[in-house]
Amino acid sequence: MRPARFLAPLALALAACSDAVAPGGGDLLERLNALPGVTATEIPSHYGYPRQFALDITQPVDHDRPNGPTFTQRAYLSHADEDLPMVFGPNGYGATEESWEELAFILQCNGVYVTHRYFPGSRPQPTDWRYLDIRQAAADHHRIVVLLEAIYPGPWVSAGSSKSGMTALFHRRFWPDDVDATVAYVAPLMFDVEDERFLPWLAARLARPIARAQVTDLDAVPGDVVVNATGLGARILAGDPTVTGLAGQVVVTAPGDADLTVSLADDRDPDAMFYAIPRLDSLVLGGSAVAAAGDEPPPEDAALTARILADAARFGLHPGPVLAVRRGLRPFRPTVRLERTGRILHCYGHGGAGYTLCLGCVEDLAAQV
C-alpha cells in the first residue's frame, strides 16, 4: 500500500521557501548538479513533496581504487526543506520515483532512496561480480551521505525493511558516523548456516507429543489458547482469501567446492531468481516463486533444475552431486498475520521466510498469551 498525500500540509507550509531559490545561494537543482559526480533532474513530485529529483551519481566500481572504472548509481531525492532531517533509504534492491520510507512521513522531512549497486539502473558495465559485497555497497552509501550533507546538514536517519533493513545496518556497520540513528524495521540476518536438525530439536522440546488430526473449525479445537499456524489451511480455517500458495522448487546438492559460510541471492528478476543457502553438509539452490493454481504443487520441472544449476555455475559455484529436487507450496500473504482474536492466536503467511522469522514470531505470540 502506498501512502496518500501525507505531506500535503507540509507542502503548503513550505511552498514559499521551496520554489526557486534554496538557502545557501542558487536554485536547489543547480546546487545538486554542482556536487562532484552528480547529475540531477527534477521530476514530478509524489506524496505532497514540494520538489523531487532523480540523481545519477558516479561511483567507483571498487572503492579501493577510486580512480579505476566507475558506474552510475540512481537515487531519488524527495525534498521538503534543507533545515529538516533527512531519512536515508539505502534500498536493498532497486529504488523508483515512488520509493518512500514510513519514517519520512512520521518526521515530515526529506528522504533520499538509493538503488543498490548491480541492480537495474545501477549496474557496472562490464559487470564484475567480485565487487558486489556489503563493504562496497556501504561505501556507495557513505559517498552519497557525504555529498548531500553539503546541502542537508541536519540530522540523518537511515531506515529500511527486509533486505533494505539489512543494507541500512551494513552501511551503519562500516560508517557508524554517517547517520544519527538507524531504524531497521526488519533485518533478517542469519548468523549461521541453516541446520536441518532444528525442527526435530524443536519438536523434542514440546511438553506433549505432536498429534495429527483433521481440523475443520478452529473454534471447535479444545484448549485455553489455540495457535493457528496452518499455512495454506488458514485460507479456509480463518476465512482469509489473501493467503495464496507460491510454488517453489529447490535443488539440494553436496557441498562440492562451495564455501558453506557464504549465502548468495539474486532476485533482480522474480521470474528467474537464484539463491544458494548453505547447510551443515549440503547446499540448497533455488529457485522459483510462482503463484499456484490450486493447493497442490506442480510436478518437478527438469528445465528449472537445469536453469538453477546453470545459474550456480554462472556465479562461480561448483556444487557437488544433486542429492534431491524438492517442490512445495509456500503459504504467502501480503503481510504475515500475527494477532489474537479471542482465544485464537493467528500466525501464518510467512511465505518462504518461516525459518528466518520463527523465533521473533514465537516471542510476539508468547507476549499475547
Q: Which CATH class is domain 8-184?
A: alpha beta
Look up residue 170 and give its amino acid: F
d(CA 306, CA 111): 43
Q: Give the pairing type, strands 244-253 and 156-160.
A: unpaired
Whole-model pTM: value is 0.60
The predicted pLDDT at position 17 comes to 43
d(CA 125, CA 298): 38
d(CA 274, CA 263): 11
pLDDT by 10-residue block (mean), the chain, 369 residues: 48 44 69 97 95 98 96 97 97 92 93 94 90 95 98 96 91 96 83 70 86 91 93 93 92 91 79 87 89 84 95 92 93 92 94 82 89
Cα–Cα nearest to 93, from 164, 191, 174: 164
Look up residue 171 and give its amino acid: H
User: Could you tell me where the beta strands, DSSP code E, fall in 134-206?
Assistant: 156-160, 181-184
* Architecture of the domain made up of 190-369: 2-Layer Sandwich (3.30)
Cα–Cα nearest to 14, from 61, 81, 64, 77: 81
Cα–Cα nearest to 330, from 304, 350, 347, 358: 350
Q: Give the pairing type, strands 322-341 and 274-278.
A: unpaired
User: Could you tell me where the beta strands, DSSP code E, fall in 125-281?
Assistant: 156-160, 181-184, 226-228, 244-253, 264-266, 274-278
Find out whether 30 and 70 touch, Cβ atoms under 8 Å.
Answer: no
- For the chain, the structural domain boundaries read 8-184, 190-369
The predicted pLDDT at position 177 comes to 96
The predicted pLDDT at position 121 comes to 86
Q: Across the strands, what pairs with 112?
A: 77, 88
Q: Which residues contact 19 (CB under 8 A, 6 or more apart)?
A: 50
CA trace torsion 281, 285, 288, 292 (10° rounding): -30
Cα–Cα nearest to 75, from 35, 23, 102: 35
Q: Name the DSSP class of 103.
A: H
The sign of the dihedral angle between the CA atoms of 253, 255, 261, 267 is negative
d(CA 280, CA 261): 10
Q: Which three cell numbers stand for residue 233?
A: 489451511
Find out whether 172 and 147 touch, Cβ atoms under 8 Å.
Answer: no
Go through 24-33 and write b for each residue having 16 or more CB atoms within 10 A of its CB, e for each that does not.
Answer: eeeebbebbe
The Cβ of residue 341 has, within 10 Å, a number of other Cβ atoms equal to 11
The predicted pLDDT at position 84 comes to 96
Start-to-end CA distance of the chain, whole Å, equals 30
Q: Which three cell numbers stand for residue 61?
A: 566500481
The predicted pLDDT at position 291 comes to 86
Find out whether 166 and 92 touch, Cβ atoms under 8 Å.
Answer: yes
Q: Which three cell numbers stand for residue 269?
A: 528478476
The predicted pLDDT at position 191 comes to 58
